[in-house]
Amino acid sequence: MQKTIQLLQTPFESSCSATPEFNTYARTFKREVKSVIESIGGELVSFSKGHFEVSGFFKVGEKFYYFSQSDLRYFVGQNLLLRTAKSEKDYTGGSNHFVEMGSEMFSQLPV
């Protein structure tokens, strides 16, 4: 997640459409989060790039998890929302947990 964290050091310019900087961030984040998920034996099930935010679902064994990073123009930080989910369509899921981005961010998944 080093490249992702490095890209967070530069503020994102607000715009009515995604900027080239945010598009680069979203691609980098997806690639790196997929790698972290695979390193714990999981699978990235879905990924969504919104208007300056990213989210998705991943699965470890039979358990689903939802992750989200809020609007990066205003909520810049290295924290990622993480919670359990019943399926890859469960956006309300379990309790919210925040993890600091990095290679160990999914080492202690909520149950």
Cβ neighbors of 1 (< 8 A, separation 6 or more) are: 32, 33, 36, 101, 102, 103, 105
Q: In what order do the strands lie in the sheet with 79-85?
A: 42-49, 54-60, 63-69, 79-85, 97-100
Going by C-beta distance under 8 Å and a sequence separation of 6 or more, which residues neighbour residue 16? none
* Residue 106 located in a structural domain: no
Q: How many CA atoms lie within 13 A of 7 on its CB side?
A: 20
pLDDT surpasses 90 at 57: yes
Task: Give 88's DSSP letter.
Answer: T
Establish if 111 belongs to a structural domain: no
Answer whether residue 107 is part of any domain.
Answer: no
Number of domains making up the chain: 1
> Is 83 inside any structural domain?
yes
Kindly state whether residue 64 falls inside one of the protein's structural domains. Answer: yes
Domain that holds residue 55: 2-100
| pLDDT single digits (tens) 24-42 | 999 999 999 999 999 999 9
In a domain, 96, yes or no: yes
* Domain contains 48: yes
Within a domain: 54: yes
Q: What is the pLDDT of residue 18?
A: 87
What does pTM read for this prediction? 0.90
pLDDT band at 14 (very low <50, low <70, confident <90, very high): confident
